[in-house]
């Protein structure tokens, strides 16, 4: 199954992609994770992306589209993939359609007020890539899964969160209409418990486990 997860920053795309990709046995391809890894390794793509990510702006399509095209051509994507964070605008969606056919686009909807609280309290494990919220952690410094030190993402600060939301509404939210028009859109309420959101996504995809 070739899937895309849409939704604003903090909607739970990464959280749900981890669960659903495992349930379906397909790789989770997150452009945000790819850029953060490239930045950590100081590759040319990472160094180019940094200034955009720091401001909450989109990395230029010339960089992003080629990176995704290459990743989807790898062997592990032959039987399906779950794209998280791509496409982010209409040009990316149109480019994707030239090199891959989607089965569904799942839009995880959450109101802006909730997103700010989610993103401000998010903690990330750089070792096992686990994503958590301080409200659910007994010790907000240590990963409950692998024991590594948790970090706060550089773009989870109030000014950058505000810009990411604004960029989402301007550039990314039109994609729901784009995929609805193609008959591929599945709408899911992201303002439920994480388990209920996972169940709603699998139901929308008509997957019985």
- The torsion angles phi and psi of 190, rounded to 5 degrees, stand at -85, 0
Residue 164 annotated as catalytic: yes
Q: How many CB atoms lie within 10 A of CB 79?
A: 12
Q: Which residues contact 201 (CB under 8 A, 6 or more apart)?
A: 16, 20, 106, 108, 186, 188
Q: How many CB atoms lie within 10 A of CB 159?
A: 10
Q: Measure the CA–CA gap between 165 and 119, rounded to whole angstroms.
A: 11
Residue 88 annotated as catalytic: yes
Complex with ligand AP5: residue 45 or 155, whichever CB lies closer: 155
Binding residue for ligand AP5, selected from 23, 109, 137, 194, defined by CB under 6 A: 194
Binding residue for ligand AP5, selected from 11, 26, 45, 175, defined by CB under 6 A: 11
Given the residues 13, 36, 118, 123, the one annotated as active site: 13
Position 137 contacts ligand AP5 (CB under 6 A):
no
Q: How many CB atoms lie within 10 A of CB 103?
A: 11
Structure tokens at 46: 């990472």
Position 58 contacts ligand AP5 (CB under 6 A):
yes
For residue 158, is it left (φ>0), alpha (ψ between -120 and 50) or beta?
Answer: alpha
Q: Which residue is nearest to ligand AP5 (CB)?
A: 32
Position 59 contacts ligand AP5 (CB under 6 A):
yes
3-state DSSP assignment of residue 184: coil
Given the residues 88, 118, 123, 186, the one annotated as active site: 88
Position 27 contacts ligand AP5 (CB under 6 A):
no
By CB under 6 A, the residues from 64 to 83 that bind ligand AP5 are: 64
Position 122 contacts ligand AP5 (CB under 6 A):
yes
Residue 123 annotated as catalytic: no
Binding residue for ligand AP5, selected from 2, 21, 35, 143, defined by CB under 6 A: 35
Stretch that binds ligand AP5, among 96-104, 144-152, 176-184, 190-198 (CB under 6 A): 190-198
Q: Measure the CA–CA gap between 198 and 100, rounded to whole angstroms.
A: 25
Q: Measure the CA–CA gap between 10 and 108, rounded to whole angstroms.
A: 10
> Closest approach of Cβ 90 to ligand AP5, in Å?
12
* Residue 88 contacts residue 58 (beta carbons within 8 Å): yes
Q: Measure the CA–CA gap between 139 and 25, rounded to whole angstroms.
A: 31
Catalytic residues: 13, 88, 122, 153, 164
Give residues in contact with ligand AP5 (CB under 6 A).
Answer: 7, 9-15, 31-32, 35, 52-53, 56-59, 64, 85-86, 88, 92, 118-119, 121-122, 131-133, 155, 164, 190, 193-194, 197
């Amino acid at each position: 199954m070739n899937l895309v997860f849409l939704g604003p920053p903090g909607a739970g795309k990464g959280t749900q992609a981890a669960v659903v990709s495992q349930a379906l046995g397909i790789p989770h391809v997150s452009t945000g994770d790819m850029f953060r890894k490239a930045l950590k390794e100081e590759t040319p793509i990472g160094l180019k992306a940094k200034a955009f990510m720091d401001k909450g702006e989109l990395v230029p399509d010339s960089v992003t589209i080629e990176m995704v095209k290459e990743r989807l051509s790898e062997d592990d994507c032959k039987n399906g993939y779950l794209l998280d964070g791509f496409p982010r605008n209409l040009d990316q969606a149109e480019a994707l359609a030239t090199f891959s056919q989607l089965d569904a686009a799942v839009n995880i909807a959450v109101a802006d007020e909730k997103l700010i609280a989610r993103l401000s309290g998010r903690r990330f494990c750089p070792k096992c890539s686990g994503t958590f919220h301080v409200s659910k952690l007994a010790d907000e410094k240590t990963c409950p899964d692998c024991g590594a030190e948790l970090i706060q993402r550089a773009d989870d600060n109030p000014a950058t969160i505000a810009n990411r939301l604004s960029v989402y509404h301007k550039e990314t939210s039109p994609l729901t209409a784009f995929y609805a028009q193609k008959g591929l859109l599945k709408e899911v309420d992201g303002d439920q418990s994480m388990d209920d959101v996972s169940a709603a996504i699998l139901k929308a995809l008509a997957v019985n486990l």
